[in-house]
Structure 1
Amino acid sequence: MHGTGGPRRDPSSLRLEWLTSAQDGLALAGVVAPEAPEMTIVDLDGITEHSGEPPLNRRDAEVVERWWNTARFDDETVRREPAPDRLAALGRSRFFVGLPPGELIRTVRAVTSGSTVADRRAVREALTPRTRIVVGFGLGAVAAVDVLARRPTAHHAAPTLITVGSPLAGRGRAVVPRVREWINLADVGDGLAGGEGLASRYGRRVQDIVMDCDPRLRAPRPYIASPEFGRALLRALDLAGSGVSAG
Protein backbone atom coordinates (compact mmCIF):
# COMPACT_ATOMS: atom_id res chain seq x y z
CA MET A 1 0.00 0.00 0.00
CA HIS A 2 1.93 3.01 -1.32
CA GLY A 3 0.78 6.28 0.14
CA THR A 4 3.07 9.21 0.85
CA GLY A 5 3.48 12.87 0.14
CA GLY A 6 4.98 12.57 -3.29
CA PRO A 7 4.20 13.12 -6.97
CA ARG A 8 1.85 10.91 -8.91
CA ARG A 9 3.74 8.01 -10.44
CA ASP A 10 3.30 5.92 -13.54
CA PRO A 11 2.01 2.51 -12.31
CA SER A 12 4.72 0.54 -14.12
CA SER A 13 7.46 2.81 -12.74
CA LEU A 14 6.13 2.52 -9.20
CA ARG A 15 5.83 -1.26 -9.45
CA LEU A 16 9.39 -1.53 -10.76
CA GLU A 17 10.72 0.54 -7.85
CA TRP A 18 8.94 -1.62 -5.28
CA LEU A 19 9.92 -4.88 -6.96
CA THR A 20 13.61 -4.10 -7.42
CA SER A 21 13.86 -2.52 -3.96
CA ALA A 22 12.35 -5.62 -2.33
CA GLN A 23 14.74 -7.84 -4.27
CA ASP A 24 17.67 -5.67 -3.16
CA GLY A 25 16.47 -5.80 0.44
CA LEU A 26 16.35 -9.60 0.31
CA ALA A 27 19.81 -9.73 -1.27
CA LEU A 28 21.22 -7.46 1.45
CA ALA A 29 19.65 -9.80 4.00
CA GLY A 30 21.58 -12.68 2.42
CA VAL A 31 18.92 -14.16 0.15
CA VAL A 32 18.65 -13.77 -3.61
CA ALA A 33 15.03 -14.16 -4.66
CA PRO A 34 14.83 -16.92 -7.31
CA GLU A 35 11.98 -15.14 -9.04
CA ALA A 36 9.99 -11.93 -8.79
CA PRO A 37 7.59 -12.07 -5.83
CA GLU A 38 3.89 -11.83 -6.52
CA MET A 39 2.93 -8.27 -5.64
CA THR A 40 -0.18 -6.13 -5.90
CA ILE A 41 0.65 -2.42 -5.76
CA VAL A 42 -2.00 -0.04 -4.44
CA ASP A 43 -1.03 3.59 -5.06
CA LEU A 44 -2.97 5.88 -2.72
CA ASP A 45 -1.14 9.06 -3.73
CA GLY A 46 -3.58 11.63 -5.03
CA ILE A 47 -6.76 9.59 -4.40
CA THR A 48 -8.01 12.25 -1.99
CA GLU A 49 -7.22 15.90 -2.57
CA HIS A 50 -7.40 18.68 0.01
CA SER A 51 -7.71 22.32 -0.94
CA GLY A 52 -6.91 25.28 1.25
CA GLU A 53 -5.67 25.01 4.79
CA PRO A 54 -8.38 24.30 7.40
CA PRO A 55 -7.79 25.49 10.95
CA LEU A 56 -5.63 23.12 12.97
CA ASN A 57 -7.21 21.61 16.07
CA ARG A 58 -5.20 20.70 19.16
CA ARG A 59 -4.27 17.19 18.00
CA ASP A 60 -3.33 18.47 14.55
CA ALA A 61 -1.14 21.14 16.11
CA GLU A 62 0.68 18.56 18.25
CA VAL A 63 1.60 16.55 15.15
CA VAL A 64 2.75 19.63 13.27
CA GLU A 65 4.82 20.78 16.25
CA ARG A 66 6.69 17.46 16.36
CA TRP A 67 7.42 17.68 12.64
CA TRP A 68 8.48 21.30 13.11
CA ASN A 69 11.04 20.35 15.74
CA THR A 70 12.36 17.56 13.49
CA ALA A 71 12.69 19.90 10.51
CA ARG A 72 14.47 22.55 12.59
CA PHE A 73 16.98 19.96 13.76
CA ASP A 74 17.70 19.01 10.15
CA ASP A 75 17.56 22.47 8.59
CA GLU A 76 18.83 25.57 10.37
CA THR A 77 17.13 27.83 7.82
CA VAL A 78 13.66 26.81 9.04
CA ARG A 79 12.25 29.54 11.25
CA ARG A 80 9.22 29.48 13.46
CA GLU A 81 6.24 30.87 11.60
CA PRO A 82 2.76 31.90 12.77
CA ALA A 83 0.30 29.00 12.86
CA PRO A 84 -1.41 29.82 9.51
CA ASP A 85 1.96 29.61 7.71
CA ARG A 86 3.39 26.65 9.61
CA LEU A 87 2.62 23.96 7.03
CA ALA A 88 3.90 26.04 4.13
CA ALA A 89 7.15 26.67 6.02
CA LEU A 90 7.50 22.96 6.79
CA GLY A 91 7.08 22.14 3.12
CA ARG A 92 10.01 24.40 2.28
CA SER A 93 12.36 22.59 4.67
CA ARG A 94 15.01 20.16 3.44
CA PHE A 95 13.37 17.38 5.42
CA PHE A 96 10.05 17.59 3.56
CA VAL A 97 11.70 18.27 0.18
CA GLY A 98 9.23 20.83 -1.08
CA LEU A 99 6.11 18.94 0.00
CA PRO A 100 3.09 21.16 -0.78
CA PRO A 101 0.85 22.21 2.13
CA GLY A 102 -2.05 20.19 0.72
CA GLU A 103 -0.11 16.95 1.05
CA LEU A 104 0.96 17.83 4.59
CA ILE A 105 -2.67 18.58 5.47
CA ARG A 106 -3.71 15.20 4.11
CA THR A 107 -1.04 13.54 6.24
CA VAL A 108 -2.10 15.44 9.36
CA ARG A 109 -5.74 14.46 8.81
CA ALA A 110 -4.82 10.81 8.23
CA VAL A 111 -2.79 10.76 11.45
CA THR A 112 -5.37 12.41 13.68
CA SER A 113 -8.64 11.37 12.05
CA GLY A 114 -7.86 8.18 10.16
CA SER A 115 -7.68 7.28 6.50
CA THR A 116 -10.21 8.46 3.94
CA VAL A 117 -13.12 6.42 2.63
CA ALA A 118 -11.52 6.33 -0.83
CA ASP A 119 -8.21 5.04 0.56
CA ARG A 120 -9.90 2.32 2.63
CA ARG A 121 -11.96 1.23 -0.37
CA ALA A 122 -8.82 0.91 -2.52
CA VAL A 123 -7.11 -1.20 0.17
CA ARG A 124 -10.14 -3.47 0.71
CA GLU A 125 -10.46 -4.11 -3.02
CA ALA A 126 -6.81 -5.23 -3.16
CA LEU A 127 -7.05 -7.73 -0.30
CA THR A 128 -8.03 -11.28 -1.17
CA PRO A 129 -8.19 -14.58 0.73
CA ARG A 130 -4.72 -15.30 -0.76
CA THR A 131 -3.13 -12.19 0.75
CA ARG A 132 -0.57 -13.26 3.33
CA ILE A 133 1.70 -10.21 3.62
CA VAL A 134 0.65 -6.55 3.58
CA VAL A 135 3.28 -3.82 3.33
CA GLY A 136 2.09 -0.28 4.06
CA PHE A 137 4.34 2.69 3.27
CA GLY A 138 3.62 6.21 4.54
CA LEU A 139 -0.10 6.95 4.46
CA GLY A 140 -0.55 3.48 2.98
CA ALA A 141 0.25 2.14 6.44
CA VAL A 142 -2.55 4.21 7.95
CA ALA A 143 -5.09 2.92 5.46
CA ALA A 144 -3.84 -0.66 5.87
CA VAL A 145 -4.18 -0.52 9.66
CA ASP A 146 -7.67 0.98 9.45
CA VAL A 147 -8.86 -1.73 7.04
CA LEU A 148 -7.18 -4.61 8.87
CA ALA A 149 -8.72 -3.43 12.16
CA ARG A 150 -12.18 -4.04 10.66
CA ARG A 151 -11.38 -6.96 8.39
CA PRO A 152 -13.56 -10.01 9.18
CA THR A 153 -11.07 -12.74 10.03
CA ALA A 154 -13.74 -15.39 9.44
CA HIS A 155 -13.42 -14.81 5.70
CA HIS A 156 -9.71 -14.05 5.42
CA ALA A 157 -6.61 -15.50 7.03
CA ALA A 158 -4.83 -12.90 9.16
CA PRO A 159 -1.84 -11.58 7.19
CA THR A 160 1.51 -10.38 8.46
CA LEU A 161 1.68 -6.58 8.40
CA ILE A 162 4.87 -4.62 7.70
CA THR A 163 4.54 -0.86 8.14
CA VAL A 164 7.28 1.34 6.71
CA GLY A 165 7.82 5.03 7.44
CA SER A 166 4.29 5.29 8.78
CA PRO A 167 2.92 8.37 10.61
CA LEU A 168 0.95 6.19 13.07
CA ALA A 169 3.06 7.37 16.01
CA GLY A 170 1.14 10.64 16.10
CA ARG A 171 -2.29 9.09 16.09
CA GLY A 172 -4.64 10.16 18.84
CA ARG A 173 -6.33 6.75 19.15
CA ALA A 174 -4.40 3.52 18.71
CA VAL A 175 -6.33 1.48 16.11
CA VAL A 176 -5.21 -2.15 16.40
CA PRO A 177 -5.07 -4.25 13.21
CA ARG A 178 -6.12 -7.91 13.22
CA VAL A 179 -2.92 -9.49 11.94
CA ARG A 180 -0.75 -12.51 12.59
CA GLU A 181 2.30 -10.37 13.28
CA TRP A 182 3.09 -6.67 12.96
CA ILE A 183 6.60 -5.43 12.10
CA ASN A 184 7.26 -1.68 11.93
CA LEU A 185 10.30 -0.01 10.34
CA ALA A 186 11.05 3.56 11.42
CA ASP A 187 14.04 5.73 10.58
CA VAL A 188 15.60 7.57 13.51
CA GLY A 189 15.30 10.89 11.65
CA ASP A 190 11.88 10.43 10.04
CA GLY A 191 9.63 13.12 11.49
CA LEU A 192 6.56 11.61 9.86
CA ALA A 193 7.25 8.20 11.39
CA GLY A 194 8.03 9.49 14.84
CA GLY A 195 11.65 8.35 14.77
CA GLU A 196 11.28 5.89 17.63
CA GLY A 197 8.73 3.35 16.49
CA LEU A 198 5.24 2.44 17.63
CA ALA A 199 5.81 0.32 20.74
CA SER A 200 5.10 3.24 23.05
CA ARG A 201 1.55 3.38 21.64
CA TYR A 202 0.84 -0.24 20.70
CA GLY A 203 2.99 -2.18 23.17
CA ARG A 204 3.86 -5.78 22.34
CA ARG A 205 1.43 -5.86 19.42
CA VAL A 206 4.16 -4.39 17.22
CA GLN A 207 7.84 -5.20 16.76
CA ASP A 208 9.81 -2.03 16.03
CA ILE A 209 12.93 -1.99 13.87
CA VAL A 210 14.68 1.37 14.10
CA MET A 211 17.03 2.01 11.20
CA ASP A 212 19.08 4.79 9.63
CA CYS A 213 18.32 5.49 5.98
CA ASP A 214 17.41 8.76 4.24
CA PRO A 215 13.65 9.18 4.59
CA ARG A 216 13.60 12.77 3.35
CA LEU A 217 12.98 11.59 -0.19
CA ARG A 218 9.54 10.30 0.91
CA ALA A 219 10.09 7.36 -1.45
CA PRO A 220 9.95 3.66 -0.60
CA ARG A 221 13.42 2.71 -1.86
CA PRO A 222 15.52 4.09 1.06
CA TYR A 223 13.47 1.92 3.39
CA ILE A 224 12.77 -1.13 1.23
CA ALA A 225 16.22 -1.65 -0.31
CA SER A 226 17.76 -2.30 3.10
CA PRO A 227 18.84 -5.37 5.07
CA GLU A 228 16.37 -4.43 7.82
CA PHE A 229 13.42 -4.64 5.43
CA GLY A 230 14.87 -7.75 3.79
CA ARG A 231 14.99 -9.53 7.16
CA ALA A 232 11.47 -8.37 8.00
CA LEU A 233 10.21 -9.69 4.66
CA LEU A 234 11.99 -13.00 5.22
CA ARG A 235 10.28 -13.26 8.61
CA ALA A 236 6.91 -12.57 6.98
CA LEU A 237 7.56 -15.10 4.22
CA ASP A 238 8.46 -17.71 6.81
CA LEU A 239 5.19 -17.07 8.66
CA ALA A 240 3.18 -17.12 5.43
CA GLY A 241 4.82 -20.21 4.02
CA SER A 242 4.19 -18.86 0.53
CA GLY A 243 5.17 -16.12 -1.91
CA VAL A 244 4.82 -12.41 -1.32
CA SER A 245 1.47 -10.69 -1.86
CA ALA A 246 2.23 -7.15 -0.78
CA GLY A 247 1.17 -3.66 -1.68
Structure 2
Amino acid sequence: MARVVCIHGIGQQWVGERELHRSWHPAMADGLLRAGASATLHADDVHCVFYGDLFRPQGRTLAATDPPLDASDVAEGFETELLLALWTEAARTDPGVMPPEAHTLARTPRTVQRALDALSQSRFFASLAVRALVLDLKQVRAYLYEPEVRDAVQERVAAVVTDRTEVLVGHSLGSVVAYEALCAHPEWPVRSLLTVGSPLGIRGLVFDRLRVGVSGKPGDWPGSVRTWTNLADEGDVVALVKDLRPLFGEAVHCRLVHNGSRAHDATRYLTTAEAGRAIADGCALS
Protein backbone atom coordinates (compact mmCIF):
# COMPACT_ATOMS: atom_id res chain seq x y z
CA MET A 1 0.00 0.00 0.00
CA ALA A 2 2.79 2.41 -0.94
CA ARG A 3 2.29 6.14 -1.36
CA VAL A 4 5.31 6.37 -3.66
CA VAL A 5 6.02 3.72 -6.29
CA CYS A 6 9.51 3.76 -7.82
CA ILE A 7 10.58 2.18 -11.11
CA HIS A 8 14.25 1.55 -11.87
CA GLY A 9 16.07 1.72 -15.20
CA ILE A 10 18.39 -0.57 -17.15
CA GLY A 11 21.36 -2.50 -15.81
CA GLN A 12 19.68 -3.57 -12.56
CA GLN A 13 19.42 -7.29 -13.29
CA TRP A 14 21.90 -8.20 -10.55
CA VAL A 15 20.02 -6.58 -7.65
CA GLY A 16 16.42 -6.77 -6.38
CA GLU A 17 13.56 -4.72 -4.97
CA ARG A 18 14.78 -4.82 -1.37
CA GLU A 19 18.29 -3.72 -2.27
CA LEU A 20 16.92 -0.87 -4.37
CA HIS A 21 14.62 0.15 -1.51
CA ARG A 22 17.60 0.32 0.87
CA SER A 23 19.19 3.02 -1.28
CA TRP A 24 16.21 4.81 -2.82
CA HIS A 25 14.18 5.36 0.36
CA PRO A 26 16.89 7.18 2.35
CA ALA A 27 17.82 9.19 -0.75
CA MET A 28 14.20 10.37 -0.98
CA ALA A 29 14.18 11.19 2.73
CA ASP A 30 17.28 13.37 2.23
CA GLY A 31 15.65 15.07 -0.75
CA LEU A 32 12.62 15.87 1.39
CA LEU A 33 14.93 17.41 4.01
CA ARG A 34 16.63 19.55 1.33
CA ALA A 35 13.20 20.69 0.19
CA GLY A 36 12.20 21.67 3.73
CA ALA A 37 9.27 19.25 3.86
CA SER A 38 7.40 19.22 7.16
CA ALA A 39 7.22 15.40 7.24
CA THR A 40 8.99 12.44 5.73
CA LEU A 41 8.15 9.08 4.19
CA HIS A 42 8.32 5.90 6.23
CA ALA A 43 9.89 2.80 4.73
CA ASP A 44 6.48 1.24 4.11
CA ASP A 45 5.38 4.33 2.18
CA VAL A 46 7.84 3.53 -0.62
CA HIS A 47 7.78 0.52 -2.92
CA CYS A 48 10.39 -0.24 -5.58
CA VAL A 49 9.04 -2.17 -8.55
CA PHE A 50 11.65 -4.64 -9.76
CA TYR A 51 11.85 -6.11 -13.25
CA GLY A 52 15.60 -6.53 -13.75
CA ASP A 53 15.29 -10.29 -13.37
CA LEU A 54 13.48 -10.37 -16.73
CA PHE A 55 16.85 -9.58 -18.32
CA ARG A 56 18.96 -11.89 -16.18
CA PRO A 57 20.10 -15.03 -18.02
CA GLN A 58 18.73 -18.27 -16.64
CA GLY A 59 21.08 -20.69 -14.93
CA ARG A 60 22.42 -23.50 -17.08
CA THR A 61 24.75 -26.46 -17.07
CA LEU A 62 28.44 -25.56 -17.23
CA ALA A 63 29.82 -25.58 -20.75
CA ALA A 64 32.50 -23.84 -22.76
CA THR A 65 33.12 -20.24 -21.76
CA ASP A 66 30.81 -17.83 -23.52
CA PRO A 67 32.61 -15.32 -25.75
CA PRO A 68 32.42 -11.74 -24.44
CA LEU A 69 29.97 -9.42 -26.12
CA ASP A 70 31.56 -6.97 -28.52
CA ALA A 71 30.73 -4.67 -31.43
CA SER A 72 29.50 -7.57 -33.56
CA ASP A 73 26.71 -8.18 -31.02
CA VAL A 74 25.20 -4.70 -31.45
CA ALA A 75 22.23 -5.32 -33.73
CA GLU A 76 21.52 -3.17 -36.75
CA GLY A 77 18.64 -0.76 -36.46
CA PHE A 78 17.58 0.40 -33.02
CA GLU A 79 20.63 -0.73 -31.03
CA THR A 80 23.08 0.89 -33.45
CA GLU A 81 21.00 4.06 -33.74
CA LEU A 82 20.82 4.44 -29.95
CA LEU A 83 24.54 3.78 -29.57
CA LEU A 84 25.36 6.52 -32.09
CA ALA A 85 22.97 8.95 -30.39
CA LEU A 86 24.70 8.32 -27.05
CA TRP A 87 28.11 8.84 -28.68
CA THR A 88 27.02 12.16 -30.15
CA GLU A 89 25.65 13.35 -26.78
CA ALA A 90 28.71 12.14 -24.87
CA ALA A 91 30.96 14.11 -27.24
CA ARG A 92 28.82 17.21 -26.74
CA THR A 93 29.11 17.10 -22.95
CA ASP A 94 32.58 15.61 -22.49
CA PRO A 95 35.61 17.26 -24.16
CA GLY A 96 37.54 14.01 -23.74
CA VAL A 97 35.29 12.21 -26.23
CA MET A 98 36.14 12.51 -29.91
CA PRO A 99 32.95 13.52 -31.75
CA PRO A 100 31.74 11.45 -34.69
CA GLU A 101 32.24 13.15 -38.03
CA ALA A 102 29.34 13.31 -40.47
CA HIS A 103 30.70 10.49 -42.60
CA THR A 104 31.26 8.35 -39.49
CA LEU A 105 27.53 8.12 -38.88
CA ALA A 106 27.19 5.57 -41.68
CA ARG A 107 25.99 2.35 -40.02
CA THR A 108 28.97 0.02 -40.41
CA PRO A 109 30.65 -2.48 -38.06
CA ARG A 110 33.66 -0.16 -37.89
CA THR A 111 31.43 2.72 -36.80
CA VAL A 112 29.93 0.61 -34.02
CA GLN A 113 33.40 -0.30 -32.76
CA ARG A 114 34.52 3.33 -32.86
CA ALA A 115 31.40 4.34 -30.92
CA LEU A 116 32.07 1.74 -28.23
CA ASP A 117 35.73 2.79 -28.03
CA ALA A 118 34.79 6.45 -27.72
CA LEU A 119 32.18 5.83 -25.03
CA SER A 120 34.59 3.69 -23.02
CA GLN A 121 36.82 6.80 -22.78
CA SER A 122 34.02 9.08 -21.59
CA ARG A 123 33.49 10.11 -17.97
CA PHE A 124 29.92 8.87 -18.19
CA PHE A 125 30.65 5.32 -19.36
CA ALA A 126 34.21 4.93 -18.04
CA SER A 127 33.27 2.36 -15.38
CA LEU A 128 31.02 0.36 -17.71
CA ALA A 129 32.52 -2.57 -19.58
CA VAL A 130 31.73 -2.99 -23.27
CA ARG A 131 29.75 -6.13 -22.48
CA ALA A 132 27.57 -4.24 -19.99
CA LEU A 133 26.97 -1.39 -22.45
CA VAL A 134 25.89 -3.83 -25.16
CA LEU A 135 23.58 -5.56 -22.69
CA ASP A 136 22.04 -2.20 -21.74
CA LEU A 137 21.30 -1.44 -25.39
CA LYS A 138 19.60 -4.80 -25.70
CA GLN A 139 17.47 -4.21 -22.59
CA VAL A 140 16.10 -0.96 -23.99
CA ARG A 141 15.36 -2.62 -27.33
CA ALA A 142 13.68 -5.57 -25.61
CA TYR A 143 11.32 -3.31 -23.67
CA LEU A 144 10.38 -1.16 -26.66
CA TYR A 145 10.18 -3.92 -29.27
CA GLU A 146 9.13 -7.12 -27.49
CA PRO A 147 5.49 -6.99 -26.32
CA GLU A 148 5.90 -9.87 -23.88
CA VAL A 149 8.70 -8.04 -22.06
CA ARG A 150 6.80 -4.76 -22.03
CA ASP A 151 3.64 -6.43 -20.74
CA ALA A 152 5.51 -8.28 -17.99
CA VAL A 153 7.08 -5.03 -16.74
CA GLN A 154 3.77 -3.17 -16.87
CA GLU A 155 2.01 -5.95 -14.96
CA ARG A 156 4.47 -5.55 -12.10
CA VAL A 157 3.74 -1.84 -11.87
CA ALA A 158 -0.01 -2.34 -11.99
CA ALA A 159 0.21 -4.96 -9.24
CA VAL A 160 1.49 -2.48 -6.64
CA VAL A 161 -0.33 0.77 -7.50
CA THR A 162 -3.33 1.15 -5.19
CA ASP A 163 -5.82 3.83 -4.22
CA ARG A 164 -3.18 5.03 -1.73
CA THR A 165 -0.48 5.66 -4.35
CA GLU A 166 0.16 9.38 -4.88
CA VAL A 167 3.50 9.57 -6.72
CA LEU A 168 5.26 7.54 -9.41
CA VAL A 169 9.03 7.94 -9.72
CA GLY A 170 10.76 6.67 -12.86
CA HIS A 171 14.51 6.61 -13.43
CA SER A 172 16.00 6.16 -16.92
CA LEU A 173 14.01 3.46 -18.76
CA GLY A 174 11.78 3.40 -15.68
CA SER A 175 10.51 6.84 -16.69
CA VAL A 176 9.24 5.31 -19.94
CA VAL A 177 7.58 2.52 -17.96
CA ALA A 178 5.97 5.02 -15.58
CA TYR A 179 4.69 7.27 -18.38
CA GLU A 180 3.16 4.36 -20.27
CA ALA A 181 1.60 2.93 -17.11
CA LEU A 182 -0.09 6.22 -16.29
CA CYS A 183 -1.37 6.63 -19.85
CA ALA A 184 -2.81 3.11 -19.70
CA HIS A 185 -4.51 3.70 -16.34
CA PRO A 186 -6.14 7.15 -16.21
CA GLU A 187 -8.31 5.80 -13.38
CA TRP A 188 -5.34 5.60 -11.01
CA PRO A 189 -5.36 8.25 -8.24
CA VAL A 190 -1.67 9.12 -8.78
CA ARG A 191 -1.24 12.87 -8.44
CA SER A 192 2.40 13.38 -9.39
CA LEU A 193 5.01 11.97 -11.74
CA LEU A 194 8.73 12.46 -11.14
CA THR A 195 11.06 11.41 -13.97
CA VAL A 196 14.83 11.55 -13.54
CA GLY A 197 17.56 10.83 -16.10
CA SER A 198 14.83 10.20 -18.64
CA PRO A 199 15.21 9.25 -22.33
CA LEU A 200 11.54 10.07 -23.04
CA GLY A 201 12.42 12.96 -25.34
CA ILE A 202 14.61 11.04 -27.81
CA ARG A 203 12.73 11.32 -31.10
CA GLY A 204 12.75 8.39 -33.48
CA LEU A 205 14.11 5.96 -30.89
CA VAL A 206 12.04 6.31 -27.72
CA PHE A 207 9.39 9.04 -27.98
CA ASP A 208 7.86 7.76 -31.19
CA ARG A 209 7.63 4.22 -29.82
CA LEU A 210 5.75 5.11 -26.63
CA ARG A 211 2.70 2.93 -26.10
CA VAL A 212 -0.20 5.10 -24.98
CA GLY A 213 -3.26 3.07 -25.94
CA VAL A 214 -5.33 2.76 -29.09
CA SER A 215 -6.76 6.25 -28.95
CA GLY A 216 -3.66 7.98 -27.55
CA LYS A 217 -0.47 9.31 -29.08
CA PRO A 218 3.05 9.95 -27.80
CA GLY A 219 3.12 13.27 -26.01
CA ASP A 220 -0.28 12.91 -24.36
CA TRP A 221 -0.49 13.97 -20.73
CA PRO A 222 0.15 10.92 -18.48
CA GLY A 223 -3.19 9.87 -17.06
CA SER A 224 -4.64 11.67 -14.06
CA VAL A 225 -1.45 13.26 -12.70
CA ARG A 226 -1.69 16.92 -11.80
CA THR A 227 2.03 17.65 -11.77
CA TRP A 228 4.98 16.22 -13.67
CA THR A 229 8.57 17.10 -12.75
CA ASN A 230 11.48 16.06 -14.97
CA LEU A 231 15.06 16.34 -13.69
CA ALA A 232 18.19 16.03 -15.82
CA ASP A 233 21.89 16.54 -15.21
CA GLU A 234 23.63 18.39 -18.04
CA GLY A 235 26.16 15.55 -18.25
CA ASP A 236 23.56 12.77 -18.23
CA VAL A 237 23.97 11.19 -21.65
CA VAL A 238 20.86 9.00 -21.28
CA ALA A 239 18.72 12.08 -20.64
CA LEU A 240 19.74 13.23 -24.11
CA VAL A 241 16.80 15.67 -24.37
CA LYS A 242 16.75 17.69 -21.15
CA ASP A 243 13.63 19.75 -21.84
CA LEU A 244 10.52 17.64 -22.43
CA ARG A 245 8.13 20.56 -22.85
CA PRO A 246 8.28 20.77 -26.67
CA LEU A 247 7.04 17.17 -26.83
CA PHE A 248 4.82 16.81 -23.76
CA GLY A 249 3.57 20.35 -23.14
CA GLU A 250 4.43 23.39 -21.10
CA ALA A 251 2.95 21.89 -17.93
CA VAL A 252 6.02 19.66 -17.43
CA HIS A 253 8.33 21.21 -14.84
CA CYS A 254 11.82 20.65 -16.27
CA ARG A 255 14.84 21.33 -14.07
CA LEU A 256 18.59 20.89 -14.49
CA VAL A 257 20.39 19.51 -11.43
CA HIS A 258 24.03 18.66 -10.69
CA ASN A 259 24.99 15.10 -9.75
CA GLY A 260 28.75 15.41 -9.98
CA SER A 261 30.70 12.55 -11.52
CA ARG A 262 27.70 10.19 -11.35
CA ALA A 263 25.40 12.15 -13.60
CA HIS A 264 22.88 9.34 -14.18
CA ASP A 265 22.81 7.95 -10.63
CA ALA A 266 19.22 7.56 -9.35
CA THR A 267 20.04 8.28 -5.72
CA ARG A 268 21.89 11.48 -6.58
CA TYR A 269 18.80 12.67 -8.40
CA LEU A 270 16.59 11.74 -5.45
CA THR A 271 18.68 13.61 -2.86
CA THR A 272 18.14 16.94 -4.65
CA ALA A 273 15.80 19.57 -3.28
CA GLU A 274 14.01 19.52 -6.63
CA ALA A 275 13.16 15.83 -6.28
CA GLY A 276 12.18 16.35 -2.64
CA ARG A 277 9.85 19.17 -3.59
CA ALA A 278 8.14 17.09 -6.29
CA ILE A 279 7.57 14.19 -3.88
CA ALA A 280 6.51 16.47 -1.03
CA ASP A 281 3.93 18.21 -3.20
CA GLY A 282 2.61 14.90 -4.49
CA CYS A 283 2.25 13.45 -1.01
CA ALA A 284 1.13 16.73 0.61
CA LEU A 285 4.10 16.72 2.99
CA SER A 286 4.72 20.46 2.83
TM-score higher than 0.5 here? yes
Q: Aligned pair 1:64/2:83, yes or no?
A: yes
- What secondary structure does 1:210 align onto? strand
Instruction: Give the aligned partner of residue 41 of structure 1.
Output: 48
Deviation at 1:133, TM superposition (A): 0.9
Residues 1:160 and 2:192 aligned together: yes
SS of residue in 1 equivalent to 2:52? coil
User: Aligned pair count?
Assistant: 236
Residues 197 and 208 of structure 1 are in contact (CA less than 8 Å); yes or no, is this contact kept in structure 2?
yes
Contact 1:142 1:166 in 2 (8 A): yes
Q: Report if the CA contact (8 A) 2:8-2:170 is conserved.
A: yes
Match of 1:151 in 2: 185
Task: Name 2:3's counterpart in structure 1.
Answer: none
SS in 2 for 1:100: helix
Q: Per the alignment, in what secondary structure is the counterpart of residue 181 of structure 2?
A: helix
Residues 143 and 181 of structure 1: CA distance in aligned 2, closer, same or farther (over 3 Å): same
Mapped contact 1:161–1:181 kept (Cα < 8 A): yes
CA gap of 1:49–1:89, structure 2 versus 1, over 3 A, is farther
2:196 and 2:241 map into 1 onto residues whose CA distance is 12
1:193 aligns to what? 239
Residue 102 (structure 1) aligned to one of 128, 135, 148: 135
Q: Is residue 155 of structure 2 the alignment partner of residue 121 of structure 1? A: yes
* Residue-by-residue CA offset, 1:94-139 (whole Å, 9 max, x unaligned): 3123143111232356568897222112111121222111111111
Quote the sequence identity (%). Answer: 27
CA separation in 1, counterparts of 2:27 and 2:168? Answer: 16
**For the Cα contact (< 8 Å) 1:49–1:106, is it kept in 2?**
no
Distance 1:188 1:233 in 2: 22
Instruction: Judge conservation of contact 2:82–2:137 (CA < 8 Å) in 1.
Output: no
Matches within 5 A, 1:133-152: 133-152=167-186
Give the superposition deviation at 1:203: 1.6
Match of 2:164 in 1: 130
Shift of 1:213: 1.5
Note the residue ranges of structure 2 that are not aligned, 5 or more in a row.
1-6, 58-68, 105-109, 209-217
Task: Indicate the larger mover: 144-153 or 6-15.
Answer: 6-15
Aligned amino acid, residue 76 of structure 2? P
The question of whether the paired residues in 1 share the 8 Å contact of 2:195 and 2:230 is answered with yes
Closer, same or farther: CA 203–103 of 1 in aligned 2, 3 Å: same
Q: Are the aligned partners of 1:184 and 1:206 in contact in 2 as well (CA < 8 Å)?
A: yes
TM-score by length of 2: 0.70
The answer (yes or no) to whether the contact 2:230–2:252 under 8 Å persists in 1 is yes
Q: Which residue does the alignment assign to 2:265?
A: 219
Give, in angstroms, the shift of residue 43 of structure 1.
2.1
- Tell me the secondary structure at the aligned position of residue 95 of structure 1: coil
What is the distance in 1 between the residues matched to 2:156 and 2:185? 14
Shift of the 10–32 alpha-carbon distance from structure 1 to 2, 3 Å rule, reads farther
Give the counterpart letter for 2:25 in structure 1. Answer: L
**Residue identity opposite 1:89 in structure 2:** D
Give the Cα separation in 2 of the matches to 1:199 and 1:111.
22
Measured after TM superposition, the shift of residue 54 of structure 1 is 2.1
Larger of the two Rg values belongs to structure: 2
Alpha carbons of structure 1 residues 20 and 77: separation in structure 2 relative to 1, 3 Å:
same
Question: Could you say what the CA RMSD is over the residues aligned between the two structures, in angstroms?
Answer: 3.1
Q: 1:123 to 1:89 in 2, by over 3 A?
A: farther
